Amino acid sequence: MADLNVSEPNITTSKDPLIGKQLGDYRITSRLASGGMARVYKGMDYKLQRPAAIKVLDTHNVDLEATSTARFKREARAVAALEHPNIIPIYQYGEDESEGVYFLAMKLVKGHDLADELRRLKRSKDKLMPIDRALKIMTQVASALDYAHSQDIIHRDVKPSNILIDKDDHATLTDMGLVLRVSAETTMGTAFGTPRYIAPEQATSSDKAVPQSDIYSYAVILYEILTGQTPFDGGTPMEIALAHISEPAPSPRTVNPGIPLVVERELMRALDKDPAKRHKSATQLIEAVKRGYNTPAASALSIAEPLNEEATLALAPAADLPAIEIENKSRRLPVPMLLLVAVALLIAGAFIVNGLADMTGGQAAADGAPVLLIYDESTFTFINEGDYDLNVQDLKFIRGVDDNVDDFSGDRIPRDVLPSGQNCFQIILNNTTPTVPPQCNPISQHRHGQEMLSNPLRVHWRAETETSTRVKTFEVRYKGQLLARCDTIERGGFGECRLNWPEVPPTPEA
């Protein structure tokens, strides 16, 4: 399931048919996010004067409906049974026959997710989160995971975008849509999860997931916090998954020499391909990491300063150091591991379906500027949410075949550069009143201009064409590189798509 941040709203539209509807005790007031098989709205219980995040299952795909609704009900039962200060609480579950939807009401967290925080840090001069703050947040997440495991529940999609942070750095683990109750349910032959954070055994099949699979994903997040990058990267979800299965994790100290060797060894233990060799709990891992940083020798150093080998080995007794050899060079794989790779290839199709959202429009990549596309039947809005200007001349929206009459090229935009700071460019159908999303800066919106189109059957974001066919998606390309594949909409519909602009902003002159 794609990321569904249950924090304060960032999208409001009157075009969505559920806006203003009553689902259970909650009246829907705005839409927060959408992705995968579900959408998240803000709702209000006017009797109790309590806001909530309302997760609504999208059942338009008939082939997935039976499986999706079963998983949705399982999520409601599993999460409602959990009572922990760092796990999102469930208020209500229901089915609305008049609207044909299943919904889940949960606490609305006022804040942002850890993925947004890490992206912000990478764009800042600091680059990395202060260690004390990182340990505080990740200690809370460890407590939530260990509690869920004690209740025989595996999350299976632990990643930064599923960790919400409020203004006091209180962390909340959310999006339990992929939970698996160990004693009751399995999912044979399918890999659920997110490629950048998925455990090797889970990448082959979700029925192999164990609590240590969540600990592996948790360790990947720790690795990213401490180094600014995840251990494995690649051009496709399957490429990343195969790296988790077959490649040793790179030494984090090669990226950030300021990481104590003790901490590195704990991370490498948690990232072992064999679940049995990992820590017994997430708390055991984070406490070992805290010991590594909180000893006098380590605390005297900044995160960017290297430790010499003798000083680092003195930070903890030998019993605390797992017997793991850290190699920086890649190794040839033994035959059993190659067999695991072959198994992974067999289920590649299922995994790519679940992981592709993180590689394209479902979730922004780690680098670049975040871009949001919002569109209804008459207005298409391109929003620069980043903190640097975007040159849009090599941008292209493609519906169907490249270079046909439905495509829209960036060279048609009046100015070469779309400025930073919630600046918007809009494409509008003639003789219609444009819809201006609340994210747009009103002054810059008028300053940057608009492009008018006359034929609604020849616009890239609409499903209707001049023939009898319907086009389900359109592509967003920059200099020929695919940035995202977004859903088209029918007449009267509403769509949104997130992507990451690949350009790196120029370095300011000294």
Q: Is 397 exposed, middle or buried (0-12, 13-18, 19+ CB in 10 A)?
A: buried
Residue 364 domain-assigned? no
Residues 275, 403 within the same domain: no
Per-residue pLDDT, averaged over 80-104, amounts to 85
Per-residue pLDDT, averaged over 354-366, amounts to 39
Residues 180, 298 within the same domain: yes
Residues 148, 288 within the same domain: yes
* Model confidence at 146: pLDDT above 90: yes
Q: Which two tokens stand for residue 36?
A: 């995968």
Q: Which two tokens stand for residue 329?
A: 């060079």
Q: Residue 139's pLDDT band (boundaries 50, 70, 90)? A: very high
Residues 150, 89 within the same domain: no
Percentage of the chain beyond pLDDT 70 is 69
Of 463, 460, 435, residue with least CA distance to 450: 435
Q: Residue 73's pLDDT band (boundaries 50, 70, 90)? A: confident
Residue 506 domain-assigned? no
Residue 245 domain-assigned? yes
At residue 159, the pLDDT reads 93
At residue 22, the pLDDT reads 92
- List, as one string, the DSSP characters of 326-393: --SS--PPPHHHHHHHHHHHHTHHHHHHHHHHHHTTSS--SSSEEEEEEEESSEEEEEE-SSS-EE-T
Lowest model confidence (mean pLDDT) among 90-99, 344-353, 471-480, 487-496 = 344-353
| Residues constituting the chain | 510
Residues 304, 417 within the same domain: no
Identify the three-state secondary structure at position 168: coil
At residue 198, the pLDDT reads 93
Residues 260, 129 within the same domain: yes
Residue 214 domain-assigned? yes
CATH number at residue 60: 3.30.200.20
Domain end (from 299, 328, 358) = 358
d(CA 253, CA 267): 11
Of 436, 461, 430, residue with least CA distance to 448: 436
At residue 124, the pLDDT reads 85
At residue 389, the pLDDT reads 81
Lowest model confidence (mean pLDDT) among 293-297, 451-455, 471-475 = 293-297
Residues 122, 270 within the same domain: yes
At residue 408, the pLDDT reads 85
Cβ atoms of 57 and 35 closer than 8 Å = no
Cβ atoms of 157 and 175 closer than 8 Å = yes
**pTM attached to this predicted model:** 0.58
Q: Residue 338's pLDDT band (boundaries 50, 70, 90)? A: very low
Per-residue pLDDT, averaged over 287-302, amounts to 68
d(CA 190, CA 1): 13
Q: Is 470 exposed, middle or buried (0-12, 13-18, 19+ CB in 10 A)?
A: exposed
Active site residues: 157
Residues 213, 335 within the same domain: yes
Residues 377, 229 within the same domain: no
Residue 7 domain-assigned? no
Phi, psi of 359 (to 5 degrees): -95, -15
Count of domains observed in the chain: 3
At residue 339, the pLDDT reads 45
- List, as one string, the DSSP characters of 68-91: HHHHHHHHHHHHHT---TTBPPEE
Of 314, 289, 313, 312, residue with least CA distance to 301: 312
Q: Which residues pair with 495 in a beta bridge?
A: 375
CATH number at residue 295: 1.10.510.10
> pLDDT for 216-229, tens place per residue?
999 999 999 999 99
d(CA 348, CA 343): 9
Dihedral over Cα of 41, 46, 52, 54: its sign: negative
Q: Residue 263's pLDDT band (boundaries 50, 70, 90)? A: very high
Phi, psi of 236 (to 5 degrees): -135, 160
Q: Tell me the residue range of the domain where 95 lies.
A: 22-106
At residue 238, the pLDDT reads 86
Domain end (from 358, 387, 413) = 358
Domain end (from 310, 330, 358) = 358
CATH number at residue 439: 2.60.40
d(CA 44, CA 23): 10
Residue 290 domain-assigned? yes
Residues 201, 349 within the same domain: yes
Residue 6 domain-assigned? no
> CA Rg, the chain, in Å?
24
Q: Residue 32's pLDDT band (boundaries 50, 70, 90)? A: confident
d(CA 248, CA 275): 14
> pLDDT for 374-406, tens place per residue?
888 888 888 887 777 888 888 899 987 776 777
> pLDDT for 50-60, tens place per residue?
999 998 876 65
Dihedral over Cα of 312, 314, 315, 321: its sign: positive
* Model confidence at 365: pLDDT above 60: no
Residue 509 domain-assigned? no
Residues 341, 481 within the same domain: no
* Model confidence at 5: pLDDT above 80: no
Residues 378, 445 within the same domain: yes
At residue 164, the pLDDT reads 94
Of 434, 430, 432, residue with least CA distance to 380: 434
